[in-house]
């Protein structure tokens, strides 16, 4: 029987169709042990480390950093070493999940933060080049752990690992690759020498650890150099005529060059196209008059409170809709998806039980979600399951919009840029501070009257003094 094993890319969460290679921790010919980190993969929701399913020699790797691998496709091939630790025959991790291509199992459903992502027992994520197991008999590799976002001591998506003498989390390594930063030269500020997101961003900003650049000279040696001619790297930013040349920010494709969408942005394209093909969107716009507000107030907290009030007044918009089965589900709780813009694309983390939070609770929860999005540590379970959405695009620019409703939700609120408008009042005019509000709803699931009443309830709450 052959000792070769083919390992197929599992589903790393919620049925994602593919993932992008960030960094291999091994090369062809290396020996790897069971459950050691094999590769970091970027999905639409996280950067995770995939552990090795066997102990042995690496015979083949599917691609290089930046390559997109389809779920269920070959990821790596091994020559199993029987003298090294292997997973026990028939060992079961406690998770069973079917799906994927025949003979190529995929991972579990969208996991909780402490859940293991495991291979299907129906074929497994490893294929033996020897004779297949007879039908009805358990495969030797059934129940193999194949993903990250797990509580295993061996590998965690949020745990820093040491590769090449540098200790950093998978998301930090992904950012370093994107910004072309050499992690080995980054000045670390994290506990126990762990490289943090802030360390990488600082290195990219000051150029102290850019790949291909010479190490920064010591301070003592800097004085003699200062009087000399500019370094080649400095001259390269000027054209022959002495005018500054346009340069690209680190990690951004050169202007005019095709760039394959990956990770979050790739998933965003799929989600938006799917929403466009399914939803029947209609948008209502109006302005919330904030003239009666007393003192300084938290605008985001007031927006959240107003959405909750509107959901309680008109539950039809705090709902999910199944267009295939024509089934509507109205929710007793209000979980608000908060659109967060990043360089990598759009994230929509869920503010859970918004109807139970006061202003301080709302602010604290949103700050936590934004921080987790920023460092890519947010659990996949926090990026789905919301009942209505909010896009506060006015913090940048714009008054009105037609924000996109993403199924199964049926409504999204857009908040535009605050303005001071001239308002007609009894006997004259006044200048009031107002906030433009746009409400897009799925007309398959909601009537125009329901949407208008929802919008009025939202505006009334926003207009309250406090």
Cross-strand pairs, 420:
433
pLDDT band of 215, cuts 50, 70, 90: low
The 3-class secondary structure across 322-335, one letter per residue, is: ECCCCEEEECCCCC
Report residue 448's pLDDT band, with 50, 70 and 90 as the boundaries: very high
Pairing of strands 350-351, 327-330: unpaired
pLDDT of residue 18: 86
pLDDT number for residue 291: 94
Whether the CB-CB separation of 169 and 41 falls below 8 Å is answered with: no
Greater pLDDT, 182 or 114: 182
Predicted local distance difference test score (pLDDT) of residue 124: 39
Look at residue 25 and tell me whether its pLDDT is greater than 50.
yes
CA distance linking residue 420 with residue 440, whole number of Å: 24
pLDDT exceeds cutoff 90 at 149: no
Q: Is pLDDT above 60 for 159?
A: no
Say what the pLDDT of residue 385 is. 92
Rounded to the nearest 10 degrees, what angle do helices 170-179 and 197-206 cross at? 10
Beta-carbon contacts of residue 366 (< 8 Å; ≥ 6 apart): 300, 338, 351
Q: How far apart are CA 68 and CA 65, in angstroms?
A: 9
Indicate the helix (H) or strand (E) that contains 272.
helix 263-278
In the prediction, which pLDDT does 61 show? 94
Indicate the SS3 state at residue 268. Answer: helix
Mean pLDDT of 229-234: 42
Query: Higher-confidence residue: 250 or 55?
Result: 55
User: What pLDDT digit, counting tens, does each position of 418-439 carry?
Assistant: 999 999 998 899 999 999 999 9
pLDDT above 70 (res 176): yes
pLDDT of amino acid 173: 76
230's CB contacts (< 8 A; 6+ apart) are none
Mean pLDDT over residues 75-93, rounded? 79
Say whether pLDDT at 164 is over 90: no
Q: What is the rounded average pLDDT for all residues in the chain? A: 78
Q: Which residue has the higher pLDDT, 191 or 301?
A: 301
Please answer whether residues 214 and 234 qualify as being in contact, where contact means their C-beta atoms are separated by less than 8 angstroms. no
Kindly state the average pLDDT of the residues 353-360.
94
Neighbours of 115 (CB within 10 A): 20
Provide the pLDDT confidence category of residue 256 given band limits of 50, 70 and 90: confident
**pLDDT at residue 87, as a whole number:** 82
Q: How far is CA 54 from the centre of its chain?
A: 29
Quote the tokens at residue 69.
């691998």
pLDDT digits (tens, 9 = 90+) for 234-253: 434 444 444 444 555 544 55
User: Considering the chain, what percentage of its residues have pLDDT values greater than 70?
Assistant: 73
Greatest mean pLDDT range, 111-120, 158-167, 310-319: 310-319
Would you place residue 328 in the very low, low, confident or very high pLDDT band (cuts 50, 70, 90)? very high
Q: What's the average model confidence in pLDDT over 6-13?
A: 87
- Beta bridge partners, 18, equal 70
**For the chain, how many residues are written?**
466
Q: Residue 363 has what pLDDT?
A: 94
Reported in sequence order, the residue ranges of 182-221 that DSSP labels E, i.e. its strands, are none
Taking 80 as the threshold, does the pLDDT of residue 147 lie above it?
Answer: no
Residue 163: what pLDDT? 66
β 68-70/47-51 pair status: unpaired
Residue 319 pLDDT exceeds 60: yes
> Is 60 exceeded by the pLDDT of residue 225?
no
Can you read off the two tokens belonging to residue 338?
Answer: 């908060």
Region 80-99 average pLDDT: 63
Structure confidence at residue 44 (pLDDT)? 74
* Predicted confidence (pLDDT) per residue in 31-42, tens digit: 999 988 899 888
Q: What pLDDT does 212 receive? A: 63
**Alpha helices (runs of H) in 279-392, residue ranges in sequence order:** 299-313, 359-374
Residues 6+ apart with CB under 8 A from 279: 404, 405, 407, 442, 444
* Stretch among 202-211, 229-238, 255-264, 388-397 having the lowest mean pLDDT: 229-238
Mean pLDDT, residues 136-154: 31
183-196 confidence digits (pLDDT tens): 888 888 877 788 88
Cα Rg of the chain (Å, integer): 26
Q: Which two tokens mark 323?
A: 């267009």
Looking at residue 312, its pLDDT comes to: 97
């Amino acid at each position: 029987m052959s000792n070769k094993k083919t390992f197929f890319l599992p589903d790393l969460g919620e049925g994602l169709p593919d993932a992008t290679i960030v960094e291999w921790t091994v090369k062809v010919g290396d020996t790897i042990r069971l459950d050691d980190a094999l590769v970091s993969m970027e999905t639409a929701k996280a950067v995770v480390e995939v552990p090795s399913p066997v102990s042995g020699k690496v015979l083949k790797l599917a691609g290089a950093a930046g390559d997109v691998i389809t779920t269920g496709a070959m990821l790596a091939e091994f020559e199993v070493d029987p003298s090294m630790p292997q997973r026990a025959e028939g060992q079961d991790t406690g998770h069973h999940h079917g799906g994927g291509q025949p003979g190529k199992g995929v991972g579990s459903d969208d996991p909780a933060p402490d859940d293991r992502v495991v291979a299907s027992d129906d074929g497994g994520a490893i294929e033996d080049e020897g004779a297949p197991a007879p039908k009805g008999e358990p495969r030797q590799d059934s129940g193999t752990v194949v993903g990250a976002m797990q509580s295993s001591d061996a590998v965690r998506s949020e745990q820093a690992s040491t590769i090449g003498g540098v200790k950093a989390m998978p998301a930090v390594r992904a950012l370093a690759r994107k910004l072309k930063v050499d992690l080995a030269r980054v000045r670390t500020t994290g506990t126990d020498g762990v490289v943090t997101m802030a360390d990488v961003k600082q290195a990219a900003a000051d150029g102290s650890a850019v790949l291909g650049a010479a190490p920064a000279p010591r301070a003592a040696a800097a004085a003699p150099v200062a009087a000399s001619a500019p370094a080649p790297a400095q001259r390269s930013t000027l054209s022959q005529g002495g005018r500054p040349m346009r340069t690209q920010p680190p990690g951004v494709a050169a202007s005019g060059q095709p760039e394959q969408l990956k990770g979050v942005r790739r998933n965003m394209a799929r989600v938006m196209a799917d929403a466009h093909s399914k939803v029947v969107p209609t948008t209502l716009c109006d302005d919330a008059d904030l003239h009666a507000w007393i003192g300084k107030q938290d605008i985001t907290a007031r927006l959240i409170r107003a959405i909750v009030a509107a959901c309680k007044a008109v539950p039809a918009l705090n709902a999910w809709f199944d267009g295939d089965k024509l089934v509507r589900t109205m929710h007793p709780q209000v979980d608000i998806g908060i659109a967060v813009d990043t360089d990598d694309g759009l994230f929509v983390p869920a503010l859970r039980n918004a109807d139970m939070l006061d202003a301080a609770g709302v602010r604290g929860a949103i700050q936590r979600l934004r921080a987790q999005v920023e460092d890519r540590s947010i659990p996949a379970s926090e990026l789905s399951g919301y009942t209505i959405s909010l896009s506060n695009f006015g913090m940048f620019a714009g008054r009105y919009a037609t924000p996109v409703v993403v199924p199964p939700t049926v409504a999204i609120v857009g908040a535009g840029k605050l303005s001071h408008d001239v308002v007609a009042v009894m006997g004259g005019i006044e200048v009031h501070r107002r906030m433009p509000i746009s409400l897009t709803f799925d007309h398959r699931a909601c009537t125009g009257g329901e949407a208008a009443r929802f919008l009025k309830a939202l505006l009334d709450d926003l207009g309250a003094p406090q």
